[in-house]
């Protein structure tokens, strides 16, 4: 199937109370793992690329492997640019075939975030590309964006309502207490804030910082309005651990294709588990 944007998949998720997994890929093998996992359990899925990954490989290389892997696939797949502060990179991804982009202007003052996010919507919407925008500051490291604990702050609900009314994003990422990377302690999720923002904005909510959250936390956030769940760090670990574990167990073999295959299976198994947990297995149209 051709790639699609996030609109239909997130609105179906919202009406049927599940979430679509958004998995950050690193290369061809990890992209293959996401596609195979989605097909295995017949789920819609979002393939995410960080801005760093896009810069590392280049848009034309990524789009060629994405098309090769997704065209024969029978499940709905969106290609989304994760946290991007650079308007030029957003435009390049849109031109190259990404079907969805995230503008992350959350470190800017509110009015500036609002106007930059609105500008991206104005560029993307006529091209049928969906837009995610962020408000508040999500703690941790994602790509080149580092938010220290003392600088992290939750989204303000009044600002969130104004932001969504004026920007009209297709997906909204308010900071609600989750963190990018590995959790050091138990995260304090602002469930009431999430509930209020989801209800008052009626925009599909993205849950960032998915790696390391307990199953009940995912379920509760999904029940309160999160229809997109981001997983990145888990894939980074599986990518390296899958490779290393195979080599350690077979350290005289030096057969790269077997190592790549072991990595693929470790990635795919973790993705399938998350898709099932988010409730999107069997939801491919």
Which amino acids are annotated catalytic?
82
User: Long-range pairs for 51-58 at CB < 8 Å and ≥24 separation?
Assistant: 51/81, 51/82, 51/83, 51/84, 51/85, 51/86, 51/89, 51/143, 51/144, 52/143, 52/144, 53/24, 53/25, 53/26, 54/81, 54/89, 54/93, 55/89, 57/27
How would you write 35-49 as a 3-class SS string?
HHHHHHCCCCEEEEE
| Residues of this chain that bind ligand 13P (CB under 6 A) | 24, 82-83, 142, 180-181, 208-211, 230-234
**Shortest distance, position 121 Cβ to ligand 13P, whole Å:** 19
Pick between residue 24 and residue 31 the one whose CB is nearest to ligand 13P: 24
**Shortest distance, position 72 Cβ to ligand 13P, whole Å:** 27
Pick between residue 18 and residue 218 the one whose CB is nearest to ligand 13P: 218
Pick between residue 190 and residue 259 the one whose CB is nearest to ligand 13P: 190
Pick between residue 4 and residue 134 the one whose CB is nearest to ligand 13P: 134
As a whole number of angstroms, the distance between CA 59 and CA 95 comes to 9
Pick between residue 33 and residue 259 the one whose CB is nearest to ligand 13P: 33
**Shortest distance, position 127 Cβ to ligand 13P, whole Å:** 22
Pick between residue 141 and residue 247 the one whose CB is nearest to ligand 13P: 141
């Amino acid at each position: 199937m051709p790639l699609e944007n996030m609109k239909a998949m997130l609105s179906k998720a919202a009406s049927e109370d599940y979430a679509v997994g958004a998995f950050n890929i690193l290369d061809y093998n990890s992209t293959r793992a996401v596609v195979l996992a989605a097909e295995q359990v017949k789920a819609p899925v979002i393939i995410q690329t960080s801005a760093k990954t896009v810069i590392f490989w280049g848009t034309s290389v990524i789009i060629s492997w994405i098309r090769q892997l997704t065209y024969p696939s029978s499940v709905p797949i969106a290609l989304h640019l994760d946290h991007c502060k650079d308007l030029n990179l957003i435009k390049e991804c849109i031109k190259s075939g990404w079907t969805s982009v995230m503008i992350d202007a959350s470190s800017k003052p509110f009015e500036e975030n609002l106007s930059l996010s609105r500008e991206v919507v104005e560029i993307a919407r006529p091209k049928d590309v969906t837009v995610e925008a962020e408000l508040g500051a999500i703690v941790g490291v994602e790509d080149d964006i580092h938010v220290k604990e003392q600088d992290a702050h939750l989204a303000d609900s009044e600002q969130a309502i104004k932001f969504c009314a004026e920007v009209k994003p297709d997906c909204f990422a308010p900071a609600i207490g989750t963190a990018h990377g590995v959790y050091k302690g138990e995260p304090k999720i602002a469930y009431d804030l999430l509930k209020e923002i989801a209800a008052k904005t009626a925009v599909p909510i993205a849950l960032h910082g998915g790696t390391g959250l307990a199953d009940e936390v995912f379920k509760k956030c999904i029940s309160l309005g999160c229809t997109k769940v981001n997983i990145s760090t888990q894939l980074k670990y599986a990518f390296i651990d899958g490779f290393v574990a195979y080599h350690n167990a077979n350290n005289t073999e030096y057969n790269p294709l077997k190592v790549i295959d072991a990595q693929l299976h470790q990635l795919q198994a973790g993705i399938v588990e998350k898709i099932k947990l988010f409730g999107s297995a069997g939801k491919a149209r």
